[in-house]
Amino acid sequence: MTVVATSGFLGVSWILLIVFSVLAAVCLVSLVVTRAARDVWAVRSEHRRELVRRSIFDLVMGDEDEAAAARRDLESTQGRHRQRVQDQILTMLPKLRGDSRDVLVTLLLARGAERRAVALTRSRSAVRRCRGAFQLGVLGLTEHLPVVVRLLGDPAFLVRRVAVRALGNMGDPRAVRPLLLLGEHDHRLTRDLVYALDRLGAAAAPELRTVLAERLAAGEHLHLDPAAVVLGLIGDRDAIDVLATGLESENPSLAQACAEALGRISAPESIPPLVAALLDLRPNVRAAAAHALGSIGSSVAADSLADVVEEEEPQVSRQAAEALLRLTAGRALLEASGSAYAREALALDAVRGGRR
């Protein structure tokens, strides 16, 4: 038994040894080739980018002759280089506004960028679908909104994420509801949703308010944070009522987001619900409410904040003390308080000369 076993084993071992050695050699060769090639390629690629960048600038900001020459240069690119030029222009687009942007968009569209982008969204490869969505977003082609919205349901996470951002870049408020719907199923996209909705800006506010109100009324409180956060970023005063309702939500994350949003909007009408929120059972909500009252800056809330400072609850009392510093009646109350947080806030304020 052992003789057979060992010779079989020996054979297997030989095979393994050869396999590993070959693989190791392959890795080694790949490493050498990759490293050498990359360094060279990096230098050349940077040089090329610089040339293209020059052309783009000439086209967008140069005088007539320079612009015409640059246009000819950019339009005459072929093959792989053409793809790279298009990609470089596309990266530049989100940073520009106005005439400059329009010139570049026209250039790209004239060379069939729209058709290509739509075709990419139907590709089998997830990376290509991402490219397509990104391009449609950055080119601002709102007539293709449904195409990108469809990609919100894509099986690949990366595609969904890129689609969310693309809808933000595209600028069409019809995207708001599908975006919020996605947020309820896909928890990991909070940051991207906030980016997109924020990019949509004030135009998105009515729909955000509506959806938030609907959901709260239906008793569904999960994953609505992006809506609350963005209403605050936009500074939408009409949203105060719905945010005040959200402040009482059983979902602590949403209640906190609503408090923060009310703070950003900074309207005196928010004071009563925020003062009520100072008595919420959850410390994160109390802390956010205290901070918000500080942002609003009205001394009406001073007494309630002073009570919170006395509580000596770590994060909450600290926020309340800092908030009191921003109210005219606040300083006197802090000085009268025996709380460690009051002492801390006053001392920091003295050192910082009133800043922050």
Q: Is 13 in the site for another protein (CB under 8 A)?
A: yes
**Helix, strand or coil, per DSSP, at residue 328:** coil
Per-residue CA distances from 302 to 210, 255, 296, 308 (Å): 33, 22, 11, 10
Site stretch for another protein (CB under 8 A), options 70-78, 104-112, 154-162, 210-218 = 154-162
* Shortest separation between residue 298's beta carbon and another protein, angstroms: 16
- Binding mask of the shown chain, residues 204 to 243, with x at each position contacting another protein by CB under 8 A: -------------------x-x---x---x-x--------
Q: Does 348 bind another protein (CB under 8 A)?
A: yes
**Residues 309-328 interacting with another protein (rule: CB under 8 A):** 314-315, 317-318
Q: Specify the stretch interacting with another protein by CB under 8 A; choose among 76-84, 181-189, 241-249, 326-334.
A: 181-189
> How far is residue 298's CA from residue 329's CA, in Å, rounded to a whole number?
9
The CA–CA distances, whole Å, from 29 to 20, 34, 35 equal: 14, 8, 10
Total residues interacting with another protein, rule: CB under 8 A: 81
Interior/surface letters 338-348, b for 16+ CB within 10 angstroms, e for the rest: ebebbeebbee
Amino acid, res. 126: A
Q: Report the 10 Å Cβ neighbour count for 151.
A: 22
Please report how close the Cβ of residue 347 comes to another protein at its closest, in angstroms. 4
List the one residue from 194, 259, 301, 323 that touches another protein (CB under 8 A): 194
Q: Pattern 40-69, binding to another protein, x per CB under 8 A?
A: -------------x---x--xxx-------
Inter-residue long-range contacts of 144-149, CB under 8 Å, 24+ positions, other chains counted: 144/114, 144/117, 144/118, 145/170, 145/172, 145/174, 145/175, 147/118, 147/121, 148/121, 148/175, 149/175, 149/178
The one segment of 171-179, 203-211, 242-250, 342-350 that binds another protein by CB under 8 A: 342-350
Contact region for another protein (CB under 8 A) — 177-185, 298-306, 325-333, 341-349?
341-349
Q: Does 124 bind another protein (CB under 8 A)?
A: no
